[in-house]
Structures are given as structure tokens and as C-alpha cells.
Amino acid sequence: MAAKLFIVSAPSGAGKTTLVKELLKRFDDIVYSISHTTRTPRQGEVHGKDYFFTDKAQFMEMVESGQMLEWAQVHGNCYGTSGPFVQEQLTAGQSVLLDIDVQGGRQIMDFGLDSVSIFIMPPSLEVLEQRLRGRGTDTEEVIRTRLENAKGEIAQKSFYTHVVVNDMLDEAVAELIAIVEQETAK
């Protein structure tokens, strides 16, 4: 299997994290890149497993010292990917999966790194709103912001190599697996 850098992006609530978890269960040879973030952990999230939770000053120090492959401010919080980690894995022949927002995905694509980009689409904005409300973790203001941001993110789907519509979970997982198998066979 050829080592690849996979970028998976989606609007908040599209089911990206669920799909990524299902994908990683099926591929032992893909390393998940844990992002750094300044946001507060959600219930059940673990530092070093779900994210590396940090404060804004420490995060910006990492940015300024060139340690971030990409980073973005999303919904008032910073998120970023460790460049040294990704490069180490690829150099060792290990594929890496980045579960990142559209801003970060575009930074990597614009940077010119060889990558396979996958955009996860919700079936509709109405379904996306239902999913966001169903999480029960966000205020009305945050939900409105996420829906507004989703429109701009969806408008950028054409920059991605592949688009997967997450309507039926099993079908979306199967499509994602097929993409990874096809890309790693090249």
C-alpha cells in the first residue's frame, strides 16, 4: 500500500467524525492525526485521543514556530495539524488521515502537498440543522453560525478530489472505504 495523506473535511454536523471512526476501524495501516485545538473538551473527549487541548497562547506559539502544517480559527476556536508528525509518518511509509475543516484542507491543498481530499456532504441543510440540534451541545446562536458557515464550506466542495454524501451511514462508509482502497492501490 502506498503511503498517502488523506484529508477529510465537512461542515459541522455532516457526520465526518463518525465516518472517520468507521474508516479507521477497517484500516490498521492508516494513522489518525490528532489535531490541536483551543476549544473546551466536550463530554467524553480525552486529551491526546480526540484532540490535544491547549490554550490560545501556546497554540499561537506553535504556529509562529512553524510547527503547524495548517491551522484555522473556526467558530471562535483554533484548530491545527502538527507538520512534524505528518511528515514523520509519511516518511516512514505510513498513510495519515486528517479530519480537518475546509479552511485547513484548503491550506494543505494550496501548499501543494500530495494528498487525497474527501468532502463529506450532508444530504441537505435541513438534515444538517436537525443533526446539529440533535447533538444538544450548542446554543441557538452557535447552531445558526454553524449553519451559515456550512453554506460557505459546501460551496468549496469542488476543490476536493472526492465528495461523499452522508445520507445513509452504511453507504457513506462503503464509499469512503472504496475511495481509500482505490487511492492506496495507486
Summarised one tens digit per residue, pLDDT across range 39-83 is 999 889 999 988 999 999 999 999 999 999 999 887 789 999 999
Mean predicted confidence (pLDDT) in 163-184: 95
pTM of the model: 0.86
Residue-level pLDDT at 54 = 95
CATH number at residue 114: 3.40.50.300
Q: Which stretches of 27-100 are DSSP H helices?
A: 56-64, 83-91
Summarised one tens digit per residue, pLDDT across range 109-128 is 887 788 999 999 999 999 99
Q: At which residue does the C-alpha cell 500500500 appear?
A: 1
Confidence of residue 152 (pLDDT cuts 50, 70, 90): very high
Our count of domains for the chain comes to: 1
Residue-level pLDDT at 170 = 95
| Full domain range(s) for residue 63 | 5-184
